[in-house]
Amino acid sequence: MTNRKILIKKIKTVCRQLIKARIYFLFLANYCIIIRTTSVALILLLSMYLEKLEIQGFKSFANKNILKFVAAEKGGGKPQKTEGSSRSKHGITAVVGPNGSGKSNIADAVRWVLGEQSVKLLRGKKSEDVIFSGSRTKAALSFAEVSLYLNNADRAAPVDFHDVVVTRRLYRDGESEYLLNGSRVRLLDVSLLLAKARFGQRAYSVIGQGMVENFLNTTQSERKEFFDEATGVKMYQIKRDDAMNKLQNARGNLTQAGSL
C-alpha cells in the first residue's frame, strides 16, 4: 500500500472516530488536503467550497500562480449528489511535493487571506515577511496578494453571488486592504460574512496538523469555544466585540470632553 493510500485510510479512521464522538462538523461538503511529504499539513472543511486560489508575491510565489481545486468524480468529472442529500460530493484534493516546494506556503496563503493576524502562525517575524523577498533570478516585490474563490451556489454566505472572492493585499510600506468581489471592505466585513456561513479564519474551516488529535484532549471551555464557532455563534461574538470596542471609545471621548 502506498504512503498516500495509508494517509487517506488514516484520515477516514479519524473522521469515523469524530463522528462516533458526535462531532458533526464533518458534514461539510469539500475536503482539501495539503500534504507535507507523508503528513497532513492542512485540511479545509467547507460548506461553500474552495474552487480556486490565486497567489502573487506571497512568500515563495513571486509570479502569479493559480491553483484550481477540481474534484475528480465519476461521471465525466461532474460532482455527484449523495443519496438522500441535496449536497454534492466533491471528494478530496491533495497538494503533494518534496520538502521545500511550497506546500506550507499554500496553507499560509489560505490562513492569511482569511484574515490571520498572527505572524507567528504564518511562520514569520514581521508582517512584511509574507512578501516575496527576492532570489538569485528575481528581484524582491513590493506587495503580496492572495485571492480565495469560494463556490457560494447554495448561498451559504448571504450575498447574491455564485462565487465569493476574498482578496487580501499588503504593501511593503505597511498599507493593506481587503476586497470582496472586487470592492474594498474592512476585515470586519469579511469576518462577519464568512462567519454567517460558518466559515473563516477562526471557524475551524482550516484545521492544522495535530489539531484533530489535540481536540480530543481539550478542556470543557475549549470544547465550548469550538461548538460556539461550529454552530455560528461566532458571528454574534464578533458583533459583540465590535460593539464593546465602540462603547469603550465613546466612553473615552466622553471622559476627554468632560475634562475640557
**pLDDT band, residue 113 (cuts 50/70/90):** very high
Pairing relation of β-strands 65-68 and 50-56? antiparallel
- CATH assignment, 3-217: 3.40.50.300
The reported pLDDT for the residue numbered 149 is: 92
The mean per-residue pLDDT over the stretch 38-58 comes to 67
Closest by CA position to 13, among listed 217, 213, 199: 213
Q: What whole-number distance in Å separates Cα of residue 132 and Cα of residue 152? A: 31
The reported pLDDT for the residue numbered 79 is: 46
Longest pairwise C-alpha distance within the chain: 77
Q: Could you count the other beta carbons within 10 Å of the beta carbon of residue 134?
A: 11
What are the domain boundaries of the chain? 3-217
Q: What whole-number distance in Å separates Cα of residue 183 and Cα of residue 200? A: 19
The reported pLDDT for the residue numbered 23 is: 37
Cβ atoms of 115 and 148 closer than 8 Å: no
Closest by CA position to 109, among listed 162, 42, 13: 42
The reported pLDDT for the residue numbered 237 is: 78
